[in-house]
Structure 1
């Protein structure tokens, strides 16, 4: 979701206008994903590093977050969308924390699409907090020393309820993941496009899906191994 500020500047508008237009792009993308059968959608709306932005911009972003939750919650319920917000919430004001909890509770039974909003989130933070909680759990169980593996850490990750992403889409022309889901993106296909987020629409989404369809996901295997396995599956009787 990169490029809101640059879009606004190019239009001769204040940066907050770009963030407001970005909410419209979220709404359109959410609907397009639902229509295409996407079951999990994760949005990186505010990183732990974004607190470094000018105070006026951060304040407006928080107000926009409140406004968006208030305005969109009924529509999300109608669409069967379950909302989760992951990341640190300590720096959010009480009203925003209340709205987040209310949105999560009101959509908890929805199953059509799982929407995760990463706010005050960072991939490094996620790994550190998960490892810390896993270590504390081992010590609490009476272990003399801590020995961590994937299976011990993963239940404590912020998105432990979701599968690892198949596809990451980053708008705005940047070619990096910027501290987003560092653990979970190990085998994710990374798609970068130059379009700014306020301009992202269903056409751009379909272009990303079309590109993804050309990828061969090997997970450590060779292409020849996958081709042989595919042929064997086709030849399997029944």
Structure 2
């Protein structure tokens, strides 16, 4: 049986929540102010670049003591021990508490027909068998949507409930037997739900698993045409 830890033992809970809340509120603040630049047609890197720029610009008003990174590159050895580099969308980092926080947000456009991409090695699996958020107990997937968030959330929930997909994503259940925690444990009222995943020993935090919180953000409606 894997070790059980409380969230207070793994992360600075209040700062983690505040960082996620600030990211989401900043998305809506700037996307509503500038809908033409936040249309769903825009490439994900452009959207995350604009968001990161504004997270850095507005952080003084957030109460956060850490800092934001966008598209930082991290070296890691591959199977042939050659050095490769990976890019993370947006990270929040801080050493303000006794526990360091390195919260990675991976953004992915999400529709009813792109659920498999969201779950793939270009999405969730970056936090499972990939090199994103190594040794971190919590990470965040952010689905950028243009459809009804309730419909998309339910479709994603159902897809992650399929046994074959649970196995592929190394999902583990909680003490109640739930593979998906709804509402989210740490990011309640921000994330739609959480999933927990086993990771290889060289990528796993001390509790052995990484929990992914799943957040949905919408593009301005007037930009859909």
Report the TM-score when normalising by structure 1.
0.29
Max Rg structure: 1
Q: Which has the higher helix share?
A: 1
TM-score by length of 2: 0.31
Question: Counting strand residues as a fraction of each chain, which structure ranks higher?
Answer: 2
